[in-house]
Structures are given as structure tokens and as C-alpha cells.
Amino acid sequence: MRKFYSQLFQILDSKQKRQARFSVFLILIGGIIDVIGLSIVLPVLAVANDPDLINSNSFIFGVKTALGLSDSGFLQLFFLSLVLVFVVRAWVYVAIKVSLSRFSYGISANKSVELLVNFFNSELLENKGKQTSDIVRDIVINTQHFSSFVIMPFLLVVSEFVIITILLTALLFYDPLLVGLVFLVVFPSASVFYFLSKRKVTNIGNSRNIVHSKVTDIVLRGVAGLVEMKLFREENSLLSYLEKEQRKLVDLNVKKAVLVDLFPKLMEVTAVLGIVAVFFYATFIDTSNNLLILLGVFGAASYRIIPSINKIVANLLFLREYSFLFDIISKADGQKRVNHSVAAKDTISFNKAIQFHEVEFYFDKSSDFKTVLPELEIKKGSVFGVVGESGSGKTTLINLLLGFYYPKSGKVAIDGKELSIDNRRSWWDQIGFVRQDVFIINESLKKNVCFGIKDSDIDMEKLRSSCEQAQLNSLIERFPNGLDESLGENGNKLSGGQKQRVAIARSLYKNSEILVFDEATSGLDSKTEAEIFATLMQLNDQGLTIVLITHNPANIKYCDHVLELADGKIKVIDTKENG
């Protein structure tokens, strides 16, 4: 438990730690009210067993006399007070539960945002090789699980422990031997069960997380590859794979359910043994005590203690099962989101050329593949082509140009100024990017072109001009809602060429100085591709610098300069002039 406490408080920020301490305070208040409610049961049982106590007990008689009530009237008030106390106790419990839940699930919302901020702030290389399904699962699902199966169980364990401690302390004043009896009957079995189960539950949790990841990946694969699944008759193969992993989940869930449900049954047997022990205690050890009252006290205590023990063990098992979440949530380290209203630390102006000086890049020192660019210049206003087979280093070159990768040696410079982490935000502001799989959000055409701009800040005249330059007017006229027409998920209302034009309009609205075309037309038919290039050449005539990445040698006719890459190295640099 101390380990969980330490791990939890390392993850929480200062405000959340204050909220956690306040939550513990509320738990303490709830525990005290719980004990007060149960303590009233004792005099009620005593009076119910011996009504003469109303007059023989000086305290009770004094209260009755002060209120001016008859015996029957006082007895009615007595029982009514018991009901009222339990009503108040229930109301306080609900209020505390709301406060604890708000605290717990507030953390999950906060950590979900922090994990996405951490993802945005990470470098492109850090996420290379990570599965999309794992990233989505951690941000969306595991943050919720952290609240439901780590924070809430932790608070419940603390809550129930406080209640049991206060209750046993109160009972200690009534009958120490009875408390010892309760302790000896209940706690050993609970401790042994938890000790034997904790490692099994931890293994179940780790295994479930792995299988959940596989199941999510299978479903995403089926949804994204629907056409290929049908054409290659792979539906049944994927379904069999899903069924196999789901069977693993079933087995793990059954094991977990048996462990969780077994303990309450064990406690029921323990409670019966406790009643037998009380009977023997009252009959053979301390015959001066009234058996009915002792059984009532034990029953009242067991009524609250045994469910508390059940909750403590069940929630400790939850903590064990989901302990792997601490490693995931710890990545939400409170990084601040980028404040775009604050100027970049350093700025870059693009007026002359982009230069690569003795650039060398590799993913792994031991790898034989390296991208080597001794000297390279992309002049402003030119169309610069990069051709090469798949895997030749074209995408690496683009990521170096964009500032997503940094050279292991040498430098990338714009107008002689080295591109760095301090000035790349300024550089990004000047770049438009169009790739084969254009990024389209499930929003209107207007929001897709004015990406990241608030509705109130959109310049409609500039928007219409950008769409006209990208030759989107005919599409807008066909849409019933014009610029407000939703483009659907992943732009499913658009053709491939129309998606390219939306991306071009997006770059124009942004006032991009340079447009990077990364294999953007490779999936288009020749007619549509020619139309897109005609648009690009018109934009180039207006001064837009274009970097064209392609594996199709036929496209080099549009370029002023052509660089051919092979195995990460420059093979040929050609120009229109030297043909």
C-alpha cells in the first residue's frame, strides 16, 4: 500500500495533491459519521432488550425528563432518531462519493490531455515504430481505467481502513476481548487470501493489457483495410485471429472473476464462525454478558466490518491488476502545451535558398544505411524535384528539411541560418505540406482549408481566393452547403484529386512560402495528376517554392532542378538547363 501511495503522489501535481489530502479528510469525516450511526445501535438494542432501562439508566432518564416525554413517546423518538441518523449518514456518504468521484475522474481527464500534449511535444523519431492503437488506448482508455481501477480503489481502501480503525477503537472501549475475537476471526483469512492472490492478479492485469492492444489493432486493421479484406478474402482469417485473442480475454476475465467473487464467500463462512465464537465466549468465558446484546454488537460490527474487508481486498486486487498503468500515466509529466500566441524564441526568413551542408543522418549507429547530403541548395521560387526508389531516403530528406529530424553532423540552413529547435516553429509557419494520404478532418470544407483557425477569425475573402487558386470552385458549387459542406471521415466525400486541392488551398490560406509535395499524386490517374501539376505550375509562377518528392521519373519535367537519391546518397543532380 505504501508503494501505491508513493507512486500515486509522484504522478499528481501540487493542486491534485491538495485535493487528495482533502479527499482523505472527507473520508475521515465519513468514517466518524459511520461509527456514530453504528454506536446508536448499542443503546437501541439495550433498550429493546430491557425497556426498564429508560427509567433505570440515569442518562436516558435525564434526557426523557428534559424532553417531557412518556416512556412510549421517548421510545418512539429514540427509534425515529436512529432512522434520522442513518438518513443523514446516507446523505453524507453520497456527498462524499460525489466529491471523490469528481476528484478521481478529473485526474483522468487531466492526464488524458497531458498525454496528448506529451505526444505533441515529442519528436517524430520518438514515436517511430509505435502502434496507433497503443497510443489511442493509452490516451483514451487507460486514463479512464487509471481513475476507475487505481485512484478510486486507493481512496476506497483508505476509506474502509479508516472506518474499520475507528469502529474497532470504539468497540475496544465496550469490550476489548470482543474486539480481539473479531480481529482473530476476520483478519487472518483476509491477509492470507490477499497474499496468495496478489501475484496472480498482477499477471492477469499485464496479460489483459497486452491482449487488449492486440484486439484493438485487429479491429482497426479490419476497419481501415475493408476493401483489401474483401478483395483478398481475408475477412475470415482476421475474424479467426480476433476470436483467438477474445478467447484469451475470456480466460483471463474468468480467472479474475473467480478470484474477486471467492473472497466474499470466504468472509460469509468467517462471519458464521464469528457468531459461533461469540456464543462460546458468552456461554463459557464471560457469562456476565447478555448473549443477545453481544450477538447484536458483533452483528452490527460485522455488518460494517466484513463488507469493508471485502472492499479492501477487492480494491487492493484492482490496484495490483492495474499497477502497469503507473508506467503509462507517468508519461503525462505535466508538460505545457505550446502557446502559439507567444512569439518563437528565434525566427527564420526565407528569401534566398535552403542549404544542406555536409549533412549526415542515420537512425542507428550500427546501421549500414545512412543519408548523406554533402552540398545541396533549393532556391526560392524554384521547383525542386527529388526522385528515387522507395527506401532511398526521400522521406528522410523531407523530415530534415522540415526540422522533424536533426542531422547527426552538418547542418540544414535557411538563408544561411541554421535550422534548430528554437526557430523551427517560425519555419513551420512558412511551409505547406501535401502528402499522398491527405489529412482531412470530419468537418466542413471551410474548416479543412482554414485548419486550426477559429470561425470568428476566418477571413472569408482570403478563403475564397485560396479555393479559387486551388481550383475548388466547381466542387464548392456542387456542394448543397457550399463551403460549409462536411467532407466526411477522412474526406470520404472527396476524390483523390479533390483531397490534393483541399491541401493546396490549406497551404495557400496559410501564406506558405514553400509547398512540399510528398508523393502526393502517386495514387491519381494521369489526367487528374496533370491537372494538379498545372495548378502547381501556376502557383510557382506567382513565386511559390515547390519541393516535389516522387518515384515517377516522368514528373521531373516540371522541375527546375532534380536530385536523385539511391541508398541515402546523391546519385545525380540535374537541371532543365543541362537536360
Distance CA 386, CA 398 (A): 10
Parallel, antiparallel, or unpaired: how do β-strands 353-361 and 371-379 relate? antiparallel
The reply to whether the predicted model has a pTM over 0.85 is: no
Note the pLDDT of residue 210.
87
Average pLDDT for consecutive 10-residue bins of the chain (579 residues)?
75 84 84 73 70 73 78 77 81 86 89 88 80 85 89 86 78 70 73 82 88 86 78 82 91 85 76 69 60 60 73 85 87 67 72 92 78 88 87 86 91 92 89 86 91 88 91 90 90 87 89 85 75 86 89 81 84 61
* Span between the terminal Cα atoms of the chain, in Å: 75
Note the pLDDT of residue 182.
67
302 Cβ contact list (under 8 Å, min separation 6): 182, 271, 274
Torsion angle, CA of 29/35/38/42, rounded to 10 degrees?
-140
Residue 330 grid coordinates = 507517468
Sign of CA dihedral 227, 233, 238, 240: positive
Distance CA 181, CA 161 (A): 18
Classified as helix, coil or strand, 57 is coil
Classified as helix, coil or strand, 366 is coil
Q: Which residues pair with 361 in a beta bridge?
A: 371
Sign of CA dihedral 231, 232, 234, 236: positive
SS3 helix, strand, coil % of the chain, rounded to 5?
65, 10, 25
Note the pLDDT of residue 134.
85
Nearest to 331 by CA among 139, 107, 133: 139
Note the pLDDT of residue 578.
46
Note the pLDDT of residue 287.
55
Burial status of residue 353 (CB atoms within 10 A of its CB: 0-12, 13-18, 19 or more): middle
Burial status of residue 574 (CB atoms within 10 A of its CB: 0-12, 13-18, 19 or more): middle
Nearest to 30 by CA among 152, 153, 167, 151: 167
Sign of CA dihedral 316, 319, 322, 323: negative
Note the pLDDT of residue 380.
93
